[in-house]
Structure 1
Amino acid sequence: MSHVFLFFNSLLDLKNFRLEDTNEELLVGFNRLHIDLDPSVSLIRLAPVVRTIQLDQPDIQLILDKNGVSNFERLMPPADPDEPDSADASSLFPFILQNARMHEGQLTVIDQRQSTPARLVLHNMTFEVKELSSLKERQGQYGWTMAVKDTGSLQGGGTISLTPFRTVGNVEIKDLPFFSLWQFLRDSTNLEEPSGQLDFSTQYAVGLENDTDQLLLTETQLSLADTALRLHQEKTDLFTLKKCRIDAPAIDLVTRKIQIAQILLEDGTVDGRINESGVVNFEQILREATTQTATSSAVQPAQAPITNDTTEKQPAEAPSTPQADTPFMVAIEAVDITNIAVQMEDLSHKSPLHAEVTELNLHLQANIEAAAAKTAVLVQNIGTELKGISLGTAPSEPPLFAAEQIVAENGDFDLIGQSITIDRIAVARGRLDAGLDPQGALNWQTMLEPKNTTAVRSPGESVPAQEESAWKFLVRTFEINDFSSQFTDQTTGSKKPVQSLKNIQIRCTNIDGQSPMGISIGARIEQGGSLSIKGTINPSIPSVDAEIQADSLNLVSLQPYLAQQANLLLQSAAISTKGRLHYGIPGKKYATAYEGSFSFNDLLLTHADNPKKPYFSWKAVQIPQFRLTLEPNRFEAREIILVQPMTEMIIEEDATLNLAKVIKEAPPAKTTSKAKKTPEKTTAKKQKQEDFAFQISKIGIEQGNMVFADLSLRPQFMTRIHDLKGTITGLSSAENAQADVQINGMVDRFGTAKISGRINTSDVPRDSKIDVDFRNVEMKNLSPYSGRFAGRLIKSGKVSASLKYTFHDHKMIGDNKIIIDKLALGDRVDTPDSSSLPLDLAIAILQDSNGRIDIGLPISGNLDDPEFSFGSIAWKAFSGLITKLATSPFRMIGGLLGGDEEDNDAIMFAQGQTALPPPEKEKLLKLAEALQDRPQLKLVLQGQYNAKADGNELQQDSIRTEVFRKLGFKPEPDTLSSPLNFSDSSTQDALEELYTERFGKKALEELEQNIAAGTVTPRMPTTPEPVRLSEPGFFCKIIESIQIRNILPGGMSQEEATLWSGELYTQLSENEKVTETRLLQLADKRAQAVAELLEREGQIAADRLQTLKADPLRKDEPPSVVLSLDAM
């Protein structure tokens, strides 16, 4: 340091000054300090006068160590808490400073508390003061500028008066990077280095005058540009903002009044994420552990002096200081948020939740009054617009909720009054979908269900007490416009929508949760139809009073539900209704009621396995006026009109209705016995009937069409009734109520049909009677097969039937008579529904000399146990012949002849053989007797072979034949050779010779060596069983006993020789080829043997015997000749 000091001119000039700490770290330094005093003026004014203070290139370095202590603080001695204040701060030493100037200064701030020390360098610092004085009513001027390294600048200036203290000026910050501030908070946040710049400007007025404090900021502006925040180790930004500006015309910190003209946020994004523990990513911006440590270390040391000597150390409160309970008054003229995109992902649910808003716009005005006792917030003129809203489980899947726009208009929020009021909320152009998964869970419930309901957010977090909310809300108008909705139900096994709505329009008025609110709903059904609801809902009761109108609602999409219950297809159906719904209306005798009209039009149900075949249909069901109530449950209608109904009423062969075939039965309940099941079912059914009462005065039928058939009769009866009309009157759920049935119709041109009777509507099987009469019905026009009767055209014939059914105590008694006159069958026809019954034979048996078939069929049975027994009908017992002929013709023939009812439809043979076994001969001769009495029948034969069993036997037979030839024997033709004696040496020699011819001598030697070495185990054939021709002789036994085989080369024991022969035989048999031609010849010879026996001994003519081409057996069954019957 060099200096010049001139006393008379009062001149101080210091150069190259540098002050360092004990670690030789710079504290402060400068290039030159020049001070010029004016002693003459100082004596005149009785105050020191400084002409000039010039400081060039000052360099200050402020370092905060890891404990937060600065390098300057370490130079100071510790303060003595008992030492009194040295001077009154209210009086200043008199001085006059004419000009002071700092040039090219630099301030370096280093914070070593961060893991990476923060460093901020302010350079090009300039500061200039003119006419600064501590004398009263003297005012000076000042100005300053500085720059942040690389970018950013700070500047300000104004006027200042020290006695009394008052300063007025401005501050302006431009392009200050966020990094400059963030580096000092690095370890307190979980943020990556942020991007963006900050601009700030304000005009201020600060002063202490006449016991009145002043701290006023005016024309304050804070601007943020290109802001981006990102959490550590994240790939996307947490928050971005293109532009943020706050304009505050006045901020008075003395009166605690803040006036904000506008808060503007423009063009940004928000990416909110909730992890599996329910923690929001915004909560992770600050490091909780660091915050708690810093707080405890900062607060704890300050507690001691405050606690020990509070009264002495606290300064007296100045009169001008505002009271502690003086509230802050904040008036915000406008908050404008525009074009903010919001994205949210919530992993705390079982199905991750994804929400998105492509554009958020918000405008509001606010007044805030914040005090210690309470805080008042009043927000007015709230206007919000959301665009591109979606909510779902994943971005890749269609959202469950989506809307192009949501608007909230003219809203108010009052924190003190605990009220929210919104003039209008409108949701436009979107969709809301719902559905059930295969387990029956609602997708919305699944989506919102927490992944872990017992998860704890943080160790020290307490559960807030649940308090009853006193908040009031009012939405004057809520609208949904141009919406669509789909409902899917995967429990049905289908992913297609069950119902789809479009053009949904909803309007609700005066929604406050307490008062009656108006509601209007309109929608169109995508499958067809429209729906309209208008009325009032009172949520405080609750109650509903609404008018409902549905026009032609298409029900075809409900097919998956029908498929679960019945084997039917819903081809068309539409319902319409117009009426009024009452729910929870005080003073009414019912909980719910609906009164109005109803129609069910164009119903068409077809068979699931044949969609072109109608099962049930009608043109319309009309109920001009009805009433349906719940609690108590009751249905009342004066009249139900059924127009053009078409149905099928078919009694199946087992005497059950076709409805039982269509309806799918639920899995049977587990019961200990069959006896317990019936009363439980009856009780449940009776309880259901008692729970829902009904009263229908009249059911009218117009232009009906019905197919009626009784397939349990022989011959089977079927007809179609048209022009059906009639009435059913007196339908009621009252006990023992009887409904009268009177229905008439036409069958063909001249036939008639009539259904009459009475039905106990509370329990039909207990006491009912139904009579069905047909007269003069032309048979060639019967049935839906256009005159085809079981695969045969009907040339002529007429039928009359009287079917009487009486039900009493769940038992049915039927007295049925069918008469067929002059029945003549025509040509055969080939249709998918035709049958192969031998009708010519059946007609010949059943038809009397007058050409009439008269069948009476009394039946009876217990409906709860439908195992009916049919009475004997003398010679009319032949009526059962037709059915049995189709399934077991041989058993039927045997029964008619008084023999055993057995299925003699196959003649069995031993494998590989064509000779008839004696039991099979007996069967054939009995069959021949039956054929003698039925000259119109012929017998069809088809030989069959078992490729495995027959082939194996033929292989062995070929080898045995060759061996016998080598032994000098000649086998008989068409017979199987005898078994071989493998213990005989000549047989062994013949097998070795044959083996050598087939495979070579070397192969024979290798086989012998492998058997001797144990690598090959010799085998004996299983079929036919080998036999010995004679026991070993005395000489052989002696040779075996002395084991001469051990002396002679290649010697074998008798057992070894037998096994050796068996292995040679087995290998030769396995390699013997049997052609398919030989197997077919075997099967044909078996059929020929059956035919020859029937012709020779059974006396059956050759033209009544037909032989089909032989065929292999499909399964592993014994070889046989299959028999079948056919008409001549």
Structure 2
Amino acid sequence: MSKRRRVILVCAALCALLLLFSATILPKIVRNRAVEAIQKATGRTTRLESVSINPLTLTVSLRGFAMDERGGGSFVSIGALRASLSPASIYRRALVLSRAQIDKPVITITRNRPNSYNFSDILQRLQAHKKPETKGETRFSINNITVNGGSIDFNDRAVEGGKKHTVRNLEIGIPFISNIPYLVEKYTAPRISALVNGAPFSFAGKMKPLSKSMETSVRVDLKRLDLPQFVAYSPQKPAATLASGWLSIDTDVKYRVFSDKKPELVVSGVARLDDTAIQMTNGQPLMKLPLLEIKASQLEFFARLFRFSSIRVDGLELFVSRDKGRKWMFERLLTAEKRGDERKAAATKTAAKTGPVHPSLQISSLSLANSTVHYSDATATGGFKGALSRINLTMRNIDTALDKSAEYELTLLVDQDASLNSKGSFSLTPLSLKSSTALKGLKLQRGWPYLAQQLTAPVKGTLDLSADLAFSKEQGLTADNGSLALRQLSTRYGNGDGLNLVLFSVNGASYRQKENSLEMEEVRLSKGSISVSRESDGALSPLSLIRKRGTTAAAGQRTQAAPRKPQPAPRPFSYRLRRFQTDRLNLAFTDKSREEKPRFTLRNTAFSLADLSGPKFTPAQLRCSTTYGTNSPIRVRGSITPLPFRFRGTVRVGRLPITDFEDYFPDSLNLSVLEGYLDSTLGLDITLKNGKPYGTFRGNAGVRSFHSVDAEAEEDLLKWESLQLDQFQGRLEPFSLSIRQIALNGVYSRVIVRKDGTLNLQNLVRKPAPVETAGQTTVAVSKQAPKAKHQISIGAVTIQDGTIAFSDHHLRQQFTSTFHNLGGRVSGMSSDDSKFADVDLRGNLENRSPLQITGTINPLRDDLFVDLTISFKDIELSPVTPYSGTYLGYSVERGKLFLDLKYHIEQKQLRSENRIFIDQFTFGNRVESQKATKLPVRLGLALLQDRKGEIHLDVPVTGRTDDPQFSIWRLVFQVLKNLLVKAATSPFALLSSMFGDGADLSTIQFSQGASALSQNEEQKLGALAKALADRPALKMELKGYVDREKDAEGYRKELLARKIANERALSLAKQRKSEDMTSALNAAMQPEEYSRYLKAVYRKEKFPKPRTMFGLVKDLPDEEMKKLIIANTAVGNQDLQSLAQERSAAVMAYLVKQGVAQERLFLKKDNIHKSPEKSGQSRSRVELNAITQ
């Protein structure tokens, strides 16, 4: 055998031995050494059933590998592992495996606590025995890597309740992994598939895992991954629970790293969530999402470019709620992120350096279909629940690129009743919107739980709302073609009041945020009723709809807000309403502050305002047509400016019942209006300045069918057929008024004296009760400038067919009289001091006695001017028997009264002439009456009546009208009363004033002891005789009186005088013839004659006389003789009686001589020594007493 042969044989034998060693002995050595090494490195019990080595194929196979947990139990097991070494390793000078296969690997991973796993101890041991890294790079190439039938169990004990995740049927295929330069830049196409928690998962693609570019392109496919199992891995405990949710992903992911620019991460594909349900921790549902599908066409995360072909949401249900603490459920979902501010600060710094990069978002189609939002709010009174259902939203071509427009369409239902439809377009960059939106059928009463905190009653109705909306950064929000309709709007307030409207609408509305302006074509209120009351406290009933809020403890404890940066003043809001209109509207107002609670109604009200604008108001055209009550039309037409207020237009009122407004008459007015209707046409131009009205007015006004009664006795007081004011006009400030004519037709007034003696007119105006104030202090008030004089003119005042009825019920026999046919005219009334109105008024008492008043007056100037003549003739006096019987005690048998009166008032000075003529006034039978006067009324009548049966009285009256007690008729009646009392009580004083020039005719005085009349007394008797001749019904009683002392002395002197006269008569008789006796006796007595006749008388006296020494009667001086005669003349009571009778006889004789019939004169005896009633009168007198019987 050759040497070569031997070498070959030796080599073959060595190879055989080597093969035999590798196949039989080496696997055992490897198995044992590997188990020992693994156990030493990991500290775990490791088992390896077998190791097989095929030196021919350079393949190593391991079977039955198992590693236990530290406390027992399986950790890792591998059914089989095969690795084949490629011969290329020699010339590649690298580890090249042609195949690496793992079959049925089973791994059990347990997480005990955060960052602590069942293999953490192995990592710690390996880290402790870590060998220094060798220099240089170990090149390798592992090809045909496969994992078959893999299984992973992950037990997570670190989360609450523990979690277990499984990976089954794990299949992995990787063509190669290599860092050999020529292979690094080649793509490898890995694939992975498994069941992750039962969800099919697949992963496939191509990549350069060890290339510097790190190019990767993979496809990930995940089917229905159960997501709730992963909620436990949230960094913080979530406030909500993911009850269900299945994630499916079918995406392509591309990743590249560049040395000179940012890496690229591009994702495309489909992501889908199915049957997702989220609940609050208390089990309350939060969201249900049957389907969310996102189709991404290109998502470049690092370039911030996001393009979606579609996003579809179907059947979404959101459950929104708020608790009684006013806390939204979303607030409980928010978690505090500790590093949120840090991230934000870092992002701000980065943006400052590199500039902000806005993401680019494109969504070709976004749809939300069949979705619902459930809403629940416990803060609302009684709670509130609602829902937005059938939400369908589609958006197309969403793009954040500049000026890219997207379209959208939204429809939904509100509580299954109302619908919302919106359609339009929008742009994200810049932000803008154009939309046509309409809301229909929204029930207002659904909002009552919220309004219950502010309102006391629900508001019902159906709301329709639509508008074309737009928004842009430059123009802000704009709205066009806006319309609002509230149908069947109703609410209740107060006690029985409310609002009911068939339709409240706004049409043609447009709003401009930039200009802060609002325009509306029309606001309309149609068909309905509104009732309002003024409550007893003065508040209007609609205010009761607003609930009063009580004060809270926190009131006034508000935290002071930080000072805000001053903002530019916003543009003032402006508006314009082209037309405001109501039609067929019924209004009612009840005034409960009044005792009778009057109610006022307006029916079929049509009201319109045109061109109302602000804040700078311009005149708006006003139209109003309505019917007050049942048949009172009201029409208003003109223009109105709210601020400053001005109204210019006309107001027409027809048959407005005055009785409806009786509660607003002054409380001091004591009458009731039973009927009366106002007709008026007014032209007004009124403005308000500082709350005071200014302007002008004009028009016509009339009151028809007026009827009023006394409020106490309910008896007729005043009524008329019509009171008309024609063509009046005037100004409010300074006030002026001009009336062409005032016409009063068919007026009737009733004047009644009640049983208590008061007039029904007396208390028409109640006097206010005096208010007593203690400690009043007089305060000086500065004089104000005199007000401008009111200018007033009235062309004519006419009265037709007037009637005044007078009744006196306080008499035992009632008295009634009526004044008929009252009419006339007053023309030219004016407040001008130089103008006077002509007066011509006429009428008839009981259709017989005519009354006429003529003259001129000016009642409108500052001081009253009157120049009137009143003629009242042929007044029958017999009907006044109830008065004469009651107060005089006699009926009136007959008589007539005539009055001629003149009154002149100027500069507050009254001068009047009252001529009264009573013809043939005759008393009838006596009437018993406790009120009858005790005065001799017949005597008074006799004193006043002349021989013709006439009484003529002229009663002048003067006075000052500025006297607080001034009253014309009070003065006249006072004068007449004084005259009648004087006639009855002091008839001679009356006769003296009428016939005796003021002398006292009731007493005729005599000299002491004389019975002869003096010349002065004869003149008085002459005047009395004249009065008796003119008063044939008057008779006289004469009574003589004496003075006990003075008349006795005087009577002695009178007797002496008579004796001297007798002596003279005897002497003359002896000397002359009888025919010359009268003239001789009437001749004056000379002193020597008186002395001679006195001596003769003295000698004849029988009393002792002084004598001479011779016994003869001694001659004495006249005075001595006179004294002796008087001293020795005896005068007794009989002599005084005779003197009194002589005096009465002397008076009677003189009256008879003056033509008074003696049968009208009667001598009457009395105590002759009676003192006179009047002081200062002489006791030597004859008293006369007037009698009628």
**Which amino acid counterpart does residue 236 of structure 1 have in structure 2?**
G
The secondary structure found in structure 1 opposite 2:738 is: strand
Residue 127 of structure 1, aligned match among 248, 252, 258: 248
Partner of 2:173: 37
1:250, CA displacement in angstroms? 4.6
Between the aligned partners of 1:671 and 1:241, the Cα distance in structure 2 is 71
User: Aligned runs of 1:81-230 on 2, under 5 Å?
Assistant: 93-97=215-219, 99-107=221-229, 109=231, 118-123=239-244, 125-129=246-250, 143-148=272-277, 152-156=289-293, 158=295, 168=308, 170-179=310-319, 189=327, 213-216=360-363, 218-221=365-368, 225=372, 227-230=374-377
Partner of 2:740: 638
Between the aligned partners of 2:157 and 2:904, the Cα distance in structure 1 is 121
Between the aligned partners of 2:551 and 2:166, the Cα distance in structure 1 is 66
Residue 581 of structure 2, aligned match among 479, 482, 485: 479
The secondary structure found in structure 1 opposite 2:611 is: strand
What are the Cα deviations for residues 548-568 of structure 1, in whole angstroms up to 9, with x where unaligned?
Answer: 322222222111122613111
Q: Does 1:459 align with 2:537?
A: no
Partner of 1:565: 668
The secondary structure found in structure 2 opposite 1:47 is: coil
Partner of 1:284: none
CA 1:89–1:854 in structure 2 vs 1: closer, same or farther (change >3 Å)? farther
User: Aligned runs of 1:564-583 on 2, under 5 Å?
Assistant: 564-583=667-686
What are the Cα deviations for residues 795-840 of structure 1, in whole angstroms up to 9, with x where unaligned?
Answer: 9755525385676748797958585967899999xxxxxx986679
What are the Cα deviations for residues 377-397 of structure 1, in whole angstroms up to 9, with x where unaligned?
Answer: 121221111124356655x64
Partner of 2:384: 237
Between the aligned partners of 1:375 and 1:507, the Cα distance in structure 2 is 33
Between the aligned partners of 2:653 and 2:370, the Cα distance in structure 1 is 58
1:665, CA displacement in angstroms? 2.4
Partner of 2:729: 627
User: Aligned runs of 1:1067-1106 on 2, under 5 Å?
Assistant: none
Contact 2:168 2:194 in 1 (8 A): no
Between the aligned partners of 1:812 and 1:437, the Cα distance in structure 2 is 56
What are the Cα deviations for residues 604-648 of structure 1, in whole angstroms up to 9, with x where unaligned?
Answer: 22111233x321222222233221212231111222222122224
Partner of 1:55: 196
**Which amino acid counterpart does residue 637 of structure 2 have in structure 1?**
K
Residue 733 of structure 1, aligned match among 815, 828, 831: 831
CA 1:346–1:771 in structure 2 vs 1: closer, same or farther (change >3 Å)? farther
1:254, CA displacement in angstroms? 4.5
1:365, CA displacement in angstroms? 1.9
User: Aligned runs of 1:591-630 on 2, under 5 Å?
Assistant: 591-611=694-714, 613-630=715-732
Between the aligned partners of 1:157 and 1:460, the Cα distance in structure 2 is 48
Partner of 2:820: 722
Partner of 1:663: 765
Contact 2:507 2:520 in 1 (8 A): yes
CA 1:353–1:852 in structure 2 vs 1: closer, same or farther (change >3 Å)? farther
1:148, CA displacement in angstroms? 1.9
1:532, CA displacement in angstroms? 1.4
**Which amino acid counterpart does residue 562 of structure 1 have in structure 2?**
F
Between the aligned partners of 1:465 and 1:21, the Cα distance in structure 2 is 58
1:193, CA displacement in angstroms? 13
Contact 1:54 1:101 in 2 (8 A): no
Contact 1:262 1:336 in 2 (8 A): no
* RCO higher in structure (CA 8 A, sep ≥6): 1
Contact 1:54 1:102 in 2 (8 A): no
**Which amino acid counterpart does residue 49 of structure 1 have in structure 2?**
P
The secondary structure found in structure 2 opposite 1:557 is: helix
User: Aligned runs of 1:966-985 on 2, under 5 Å?
Assistant: none
Contact 2:315 2:371 in 1 (8 A): no
- Specify every segment of 5 or more residues in structure 2 that has no aligned partner in the other structure, as ranges: 1-74, 82-99, 102-144, 201-208, 257-264, 279-284, 333-356, 419-426, 986-1189
The secondary structure found in structure 2 opposite 1:695 is: strand
Partner of 1:1066: none
1:353, CA displacement in angstroms? 6.1
Q: Does 1:377 align with 2:481?
A: no
Partner of 1:800: 897
Between the aligned partners of 2:570 and 2:705, the Cα distance in structure 1 is 54
Q: Give the TM-score of the pair, scaled to structure 1.
A: 0.56
**Which amino acid counterpart does residue 10 of structure 1 have in structure 2?**
T
CA 1:876–1:143 in structure 2 vs 1: closer, same or farther (change >3 Å)? closer
The secondary structure found in structure 1 opposite 2:193 is: strand
Between the aligned partners of 2:798 and 2:629, the Cα distance in structure 1 is 33
Partner of 2:56: none
What are the Cα deviations for residues 682-741 of structure 1, in whole angstroms up to 9, with x where unaligned?
Answer: x99x978x6532111221111111236899999998632111111112322234754443
Contact 1:257 1:330 in 2 (8 A): no
The secondary structure found in structure 1 opposite 2:767 is: coil
Partner of 1:318: none
Partner of 1:259: 407
Q: Percent identity?
A: 14
Between the aligned partners of 1:138 and 1:111, the Cα distance in structure 2 is 25
Contact 1:819 1:853 in 2 (8 A): yes
Q: Give the TM-score of the pair, scaled to structure 2.
A: 0.53
**Which amino acid counterpart does residue 189 of structure 1 have in structure 2?**
K
Partner of 2:153: 17
CA 1:254–1:429 in structure 2 vs 1: closer, same or farther (change >3 Å)? same
Between the aligned partners of 2:517 and 2:855, the Cα distance in structure 1 is 69
The secondary structure found in structure 2 opposite 1:235 is: coil
Contact 1:344 1:354 in 2 (8 A): no
1:190, CA displacement in angstroms? 5.4
What are the Cα deviations for residues 280-324 of structure 1, in whole angstroms up to 9, with x where unaligned?
Answer: xxxxxxxxxxxxxxxxxxxxxxxxxxxxxxxxxxxxxxxxxxxx9
Cα RMSD (Å): 6.0
What are the Cα deviations for residues 943-978 of structure 1, in whole angstroms up to 9, with x where unaligned?
Answer: xxxxxxxxxxxxxxxxxxxxxxxxxxxxxxxxxxxx
1:241, CA displacement in angstroms? 4.9
The secondary structure found in structure 2 opposite 1:707 is: strand
**Which amino acid counterpart does residue 414 of structure 1 have in structure 2?**
R
**Which amino acid counterpart does residue 358 of structure 1 have in structure 2?**
G
Partner of 1:493: 595
- Specify every segment of 5 or more residues in structure 1 that has no aligned partner in the other structure, as ranges: 60-86, 195-209, 271-323, 829-834, 882-1128
CA 1:266–1:819 in structure 2 vs 1: closer, same or farther (change >3 Å)? farther
**Which amino acid counterpart does residue 383 of structure 2 have in structure 1?**
T
Between the aligned partners of 1:168 and 1:246, the Cα distance in structure 2 is 17
1:355, CA displacement in angstroms? 6.4
What are the Cα deviations for residues 189-211 of structure 1, in whole angstroms up to 9, with x where unaligned?
Answer: 257999xxxxxxxxxxxxxxx99
CA 1:540–1:17 in structure 2 vs 1: closer, same or farther (change >3 Å)? same
**Which amino acid counterpart does residue 503 of structure 1 have in structure 2?**
N
CA 1:159–1:655 in structure 2 vs 1: closer, same or farther (change >3 Å)? closer
1:112, CA displacement in angstroms? 11
Between the aligned partners of 1:347 and 1:825, the Cα distance in structure 2 is 92
**Which amino acid counterpart does residue 729 of structure 2 have in structure 1?**
R
Residue 606 of structure 2, aligned match among 505, 509, 528: 505
The secondary structure found in structure 2 opposite 1:560 is: helix
CA 1:450–1:176 in structure 2 vs 1: closer, same or farther (change >3 Å)? same
Contact 2:314 2:371 in 1 (8 A): no
Contact 1:527 1:554 in 2 (8 A): no
**Which amino acid counterpart does residue 244 of structure 2 have in structure 1?**
H
User: Aligned runs of 1:994-1033 on 2, under 5 Å?
Assistant: none
Between the aligned partners of 2:191 and 2:329, the Cα distance in structure 1 is 50
Partner of 1:1006: none
Partner of 1:704: 802
Between the aligned partners of 2:892 and 2:898, the Cα distance in structure 1 is 20
Q: Does 1:877 align with 2:981?
A: yes
**Which amino acid counterpart does residue 767 of structure 2 have in structure 1?**
E
Partner of 2:1121: none
1:362, CA displacement in angstroms? 0.7
